[in-house]
Amino acid sequence: MLALLQRVQQARVEVDGHTIGQIDAGLLVLICAERGDTEAIADKLLAKILKLRIFADNAIAGPPQDGITAPSGGSESHAVGSVGAHKSSGKMNRSVQDVGGGLLIVSQFTLAADTSGGNRPGFGNAAPLDEGRRLYDYFVAQARAVHPVVQTGQFAADMQVFLVNDGPVTIPMRMSTRSGSA
């Protein structure tokens, strides 16, 4: 399973001009299931994302913001102040859980692109549509069970993703039965 994490000050995803998911400070998680991925792999990836220390030592969670409603069954967004490492001694010792940041989880099968041959990427490593949807839905359900602020995109939709990358901090991750780690 592949993920691309972006630490954000804010992010939102739109479908047909309507915002369907948004967070304040936290992580935008672009995710892709590959052939052979399982729920156990999804669980390991989620655990790693939630514990990954990529927020500044002085990053603190703020109270829920007024006027923000959570679309499609998500939780309220929370503000996270001083999330950037540049605002402290440069150390990143806190996780998204530690700072109370949000997760915006967006499916993106193009993370599985194979660019080794020719100029057109191949996507044969991506899980088939039904399996990708099942694993994405599982990942989101597990995230909502253990993290208070989870918003999502819409699987297989044409989405527009807007973000303010904080840092920038962008982390590619791979969890698989082959590697056993991210």
Question: Among all residues, which ones are annotated catalytic?
Answer: 108-110
Hey, how many other C-beta atoms are within 10 angstroms of the C-beta on 16?
A: 10
Hey, how many other C-beta atoms are within 10 angstroms of the C-beta on 124?
A: 9
The reply to whether omega before 172 is within 30° of 0 (cis) is no
Hey, how many other C-beta atoms are within 10 angstroms of the C-beta on 12?
A: 20
Q: Residue 127: which residues within 8 A CB-CB, separation 6 or more?
A: 32, 33, 34, 35, 37, 109, 135
* Beta carbons of 23 and 65 less than 8 angstroms apart: no
- List the one residue out of 121, 104, 106 whose CA is nearest residue 154: 106
C-alpha span between 119 and 131 (Å, rounded): 27
